[in-house]
Amino acid sequence: MNVDLLYETLSQIPLEDLNFWQSLFTKFYRAWFMEDRWLKYFEGLLTTIEVTVIALVIGVVLGVLVAMARVAHDQRRPGTHNPVLSAVNFVCKIYVTVIRGTPMMVQLMIMGFVIFSSSRNFTLVGALGLGINSGAYVSEIIRGGLMSLDPGQSEAGRSLGLSYIQTMRFIVIPQAFKAILPSLGNEFIVLLKDTSLISVIAGKEIVYAARSIGAKTYEYMFPYVITAIMYLILVMIFSWLQSILERRLRESDRR
């Protein structure tokens, strides 16, 4: 191949005799083409996407459950007392406080080296840790959306005879979802980028791949720049999908 040939030729020349572009090319070749290393980045990328999706699902499910429990507790009929709901609300509060009050990396290290120290599946442990972390933030975003809606909306629903659950399902949640979509998108982007942290518990995602390539070639510029570009492209694709969704949900705003 052309690049291989060029690299062969250049590698004959002593390093200090190469001009700027020639030495740049040599470094890039080692970081990308040599021993099919580009495959490693894409393997890492695949893991990153996989971890993001798993963590996203865990985060959304946890977030919705926690938010529903807390809002149901806060909006119960005054004077009534439900011990189960109070207990669930208390647990949810502790969960959110602990997760938001400790650094993500510490949580991941506790997950990886303490709770699941015997597990070899670092990637899955990392995804679980990220999902649990994300759930706390997602629950607060959803709670904010549910609380911000005009109380008249749920009153109108209830006055028609719809139950609390039906009112939530048909009236409150669809409107709240539209309102929180920008913050939710933001949280998902943060989550996507935070998957890089699972490399500290040996999750084999892009940063892990980049670091091991750098360790072999003693040259870190290209591996990390390539990593950055990959994240950037992923986030841009995600933002684009989000804007499409937002446009579709805005249909009822037309006047």
Partner 1 sequence: MIDVKGLKKAFGDHVVLKDITEHIYPGEKVVVIGPSGSGKSTFLRCLNLLETPTAGTITFKGTDITDPKSDINKYRQKMGMVFQHFNLFPHMTILRNLTLAPTQVLGKKKDEAEAKAMELLARVGLDDRAGSYPNQLSGGQKQRVAIVRALCMEPEVMLFDEPTSALDPEMVGEVLDVMKSLANDGMTMVVVTHEMGFAREVGDRVLFMDGGVIAEQNTPTEFFDHPQTERAQNFLAKVL
Q: How far is the CB of 38 from partner 1 (least distance, A)?
A: 46
Identify residues 160-179 at the interface with partner 1 (CB under 8 A): 160-163, 166, 170-171, 174-175, 178
In the list 80, 83, 84, 114, the residue contacting partner 1 (rule: CB under 8 A) is: 80
For position 62 contacting partner 1 by CB under 8 A, the verdict is: no
Q: How far is the CB of 63 from partner 1 (least distance, A)?
A: 21
In the list 93, 158, 193, 211, the residue contacting partner 1 (rule: CB under 8 A) is: 158
Output the DSSP codes for 101-141. Answer: HS-HHHHHHHIIIIITTT---HHHHHHHHHHHHHHHHHHHH
For position 83 contacting partner 1 by CB under 8 A, the verdict is: no
Nearer CB in complex with partner 1: 59/157? 157
For position 16 contacting partner 1 by CB under 8 A, the verdict is: no
The half-sphere exposure of 156 on its side-chain side, counting CA atoms within 13 A, is 8
What is the residue type of 22?
A: Q
Burial 166-192 (b: 16+ CB within 10 A, else e): ebbeebbbebbebbbbebbbebbbebb
3-state class (DSSP) for residue 152: helix
For position 77 contacting partner 1 by CB under 8 A, the verdict is: yes
Q: Which tokens in the block code for residue 67?
A: 């938010």
* Residues in touch with partner 1 (CB under 8 A): 77-80, 150, 152-153, 155-163, 166, 170-171, 174-175, 178, 251-255
